[in-house]
Chain A
């Protein structure tokens, strides 16, 4: 038997923070690729601390639903899962290369394949592009368009910027969009000045965040000048300084994220049959041309 555990942040204050986690877990559940699929949280229940013991499977694949490597993936999650022999060196990563390490959980008799976060997986590049397709309702979007990938910045975690830059570079290499830029909330180049960085009239802005919340639904739209007051909402696209800004909201709400979760588990040795294909098909059918950037707030900052 094999189980998938999706390890996410969750929130004590906002129920919507866990919505993407549940949605992607359900997509994976429906493929039947795992005997058990379980959501686990830092701020909700089941807590990381208790999740492994709720499983019957001997092989457990843990995939962090986080954007970057850092405090949560390297300290909090392995510690709370009681992965005793864990050491970040085992991932041998430069900040975006973590893949998988196999460990024993000491309070339960199980083998845990601890995977790198979804945010740094190569498949995440496709999710960002898919997000651009979703928000423009154009499956060929690219020519004549600029794409901005937006991250928090280096304030707390230097790897956070690395993840943004990594995908930006990969999309740039595809040559699909006229221009591709990495922008940040808290450091240069700043998302406030988004229009300064693009010549293209149309610019898709995709924030690399797991759930929609304060940053993606309040801060960024106001900073970019999409709206004076986030409570009034904004247009997609919105006119800013002679550009049309297609603001996509958090990439983590994109249905294709379930595919990245599966990819992580497959890289770690999970046998998922044809689930990858099933998810890609199902997600493209379900999400085909619909925009979903209206859900509410997310995790508290600072923890």
Chain B
């Protein structure tokens, strides 16, 4: 949090002597050498200012602890009621899955699947992949299937939308409030904590540390491509 952006190429001259990592900016392709980062510092691209990496102390241990906590919260959030409605003496409760089932029954199966994926499956995969990756790389070299998981984690992170769902629930709640009494359920508060936990988990995880501990795929024999250090 307290880190300042250090342009990577500003210190390139000293870094290449000290053997910094060579990297290409994902946003502008600028080739640059990244010096070993001081504690709590972050590096950004010298040309386009894209965040390149951040020094994250004890990344694997902290990610493991946060991912375990997030897994437990996600389980609770999907088991207990999220929203209740009381009107004319009738009460109705729904969970996250209840929303998906209602959408499915009312004829919007495609939307139901999308909500299921973004609100339940993607967050579960996000936490699950990261848990397995962090556990597997504890004893390097980790087998190559860990690379597939890590790739899957990066993909699924964008489609995991718990924070957006929570805002959606809030809007739905206010829309309904004029028609009936709305009762917030326990899951609402669990999901609120999960949003922060997921953000902390993603912030604690340093993919560079994990990649360094994963077995290489082809050993350089793949179509003449060779790694540069």
Does B associate with A?
no
